[in-house]
Amino acid sequence: MDSGEANESTSNSNPDADGRSNPQQSIDSRSRSVLSFSADSEATRVVLQDRLEELVRENRVTIAVVFPVVGAVSLLASAEGLLPPLLSYNPVLLLFGTLVMRSPLVVALLPQIDRRAIGPLVVLTGYTYAIELVGVRTNWPYGAFQYGVELGPMLGGEVPLALPLFFVPLVLNAYLLTLLVLGRHADRTLVRLLGAIGAVLAVDLVLDPGAVAIGFWTYTPPGSYYGVPASNYRGWLLSGVVAIILVDLAFDRATLLERIRTCEFALDDLVSFVLLWGSINVLYGNWLAALVAGLFCLGLLRTDRYDLEMIGSAFPLGRN
């Protein structure tokens, strides 16, 4: 190659003679930067997900058993006036305990949160606030009720700011349990939705009597089901229908099923719920509510992930 050809080749691969960059080179450079950033972000996400799962696995018994048992004792002591004011119904402790018990569910579902899921879950969060505000202001659809304690910061002084943290996981737990228990029958949309809505109502058959017993909220006038009126369950039926439809739209059911089948702690939050509110109902003699909690135990056992061998292996000595 002579010097003229060499110069021509060099000029074709370098910036123009007047100093301007080659547009195609700039585009290629930006594309490589975006791809590199995406790869780094995905690698970071995988590492973070693995670490979170490891933390949950290492502390399953503490999260799913110790926290709800301690929570039940502390709530009972608060209701009976046995704790000093600083500790009685302490909102920071309430929120911290709730966050810890929710962590297995959150970590299990994180890989399933994509663009498809974000929309319905945001709508569900907004609906959770809206229906509760309507209920507090108009007594519809749950009936007349008042909060007896502040469950953390209150939105407008009317409903807990952390309300979605309390409500949405209950719906998700009911939906996931329904999928596992129904098995192949969950392929039928109507069966799946009706089963999940029924599970949501059953959750509140456990929750509300216990919450009324320890003073979280009260109904005026008190209802016949351990102080809970029938109107509350009509309201939960409405909220359950809306919430379950949104959750069903949020996730690809095949990948969600695969995830919860392979993630052994995906339903540990439901275990915490059963232990916490089931024990409170037993202590206050709400036997029908306690029986429903027992039915959830049977449902969990049917998932083939909770047995004596699993419980033993969850403890450090059992793993050794």
Q: What is residue 226's predicted lDDT score, i.e. its pLDDT?
A: 98
Listed range (52-66, 268-282, 305-319) with the worst mean pLDDT: 305-319
- Domain around 33: 20-57
Q: What is residue 306's predicted lDDT score, i.e. its pLDDT?
A: 85
| pLDDT > 80? residue 7 | no
Same domain, 163 and 209: yes
- Using a 10 angstrom Cβ sphere, with 0-12 exposed, 13-18 middle and 19 or more buried, the burial of residue 134 is middle
Q: What is residue 12's predicted lDDT score, i.e. its pLDDT?
A: 47
| pLDDT > 60? residue 250 | yes
Of 40, 57, 74, which residue sits at a domain end? 57
Same domain, 127 and 30: no
Count: domains in the chain: 2
Is residue 226 assigned to a domain?
Answer: yes
Is residue 229 assigned to a domain?
Answer: yes
Confidence band for 40, pLDDT divided at 50, 70 and 90: confident
Same domain, 51 and 90: no
Global pTM value: 0.86
Same domain, 66 and 43: no
Same domain, 99 and 191: yes
Q: What is residue 136's predicted lDDT score, i.e. its pLDDT?
A: 96
Same domain, 49 and 88: no
Is residue 205 assigned to a domain?
Answer: yes
**Helix, strand, coil shares of the chain as percentages rounded to 5?**
75, 5, 20
| pLDDT > 50? residue 316 | no
Same domain, 43 and 97: no
Angstrom distance (rounded) from CA 85 to CA 94? 14
- Using a 10 angstrom Cβ sphere, with 0-12 exposed, 13-18 middle and 19 or more buried, the burial of residue 51 is exposed
Average pLDDT of 254-276? Answer: 97
Is residue 123 assigned to a domain?
Answer: yes
Angstrom distance (rounded) from CA 113 to CA 141? 30
